[in-house]
Amino acid sequence: MTKLSVNINKVATIRNARGGNIPDVIQVAKDCERFGAQGITVHPRPDERHIRYSDVRELKKVVKTELNVEGYPSKAFMDLVLQVKPNQVTLVPDPPDALTSNAGWDTVKNAAFLKEIITELKASGIRTSIFIDTDPIQIFNAMQTGTDRIEYYTEPYALMFSKNPELAVLPFTEATKIALQCGLGINAGHDLNLDNLNFFFRRIAGLLEVSIGHALISDALYFGLENTIQMYLSKLKIQ
């Protein structure tokens, strides 16, 4: 079964735009689980422009499925996740001022750094995942870091999907063969939506988790959160 982890960053963005606590990020996380989501994802950034470090601490107290915390492994981020101990930490190579994640790790150049970080996380019982592109060399070297999983950066797939779905997914199916041979679990995220999710799901063997935020929260404005989560869950089934 492929799990749906709902990224609630955009909910925090709306809250922060006006101050106060509307919408209530913690309640939304609880509602997502109640509506069928199998995980909650957050990506706290140094400027706390959406999810705050305090949100992560509060989410740990209430999330009953799986809490996935994404971020660049700065000292502040590492201090946070080692204290909170989420179920999974997804390491991304974003600089502090990045608008959103836009590339995977160079696991060759950053091999020693990633191995050190991952060793520390796993010593605390935290499952690890590395945000990564489909380059076979990068995937093979991801295995060398000791990570449990990789998370495909799927924007290239999403951009090409409407023009040629088979060509769009091909790099990911080829990369998956290598990842599975390396014993890596496979997650995916970035620009997956109601139009392209099922096709990706059907083509990627062993897909364990998709993390979806922007599209899902945007769809919820039209369809409602409960209905939207059910719509996304339906895309993670053979149709």
Question: Residues with catalytic annotation?
Answer: 43, 70, 190
CA nearest 136: which of 168, 91, 182, 101?
Answer: 182
CB atoms within 10 A of CB 78: 16
SS3 content of the chain, % helix, strand, coil (to 5): 50, 15, 35
How far is 102 from 21, CA to CA, in rounded Å?
29
Say if CB 28 and CB 35 are below 8 A apart: no
Helices and strands counted in the chain (H then E): 11, 8
Tokens encoding 183: 């014993």
Cα 118–chain centre separation: 17
Q: How many Cα atoms within 13 Å fall on the side-chain side of residue 103?
A: 8
Question: Measured at the alpha carbon of residue 3, what is the angle toward residues 200 and 91, in degrees to the nearest 5?
Answer: 85
The dihedral sign for the CA sequence 70, 198, 3, 124: negative
CA–CA distance from 15 to each of 19, 22, 45, 80 (Å)?
6, 5, 16, 22
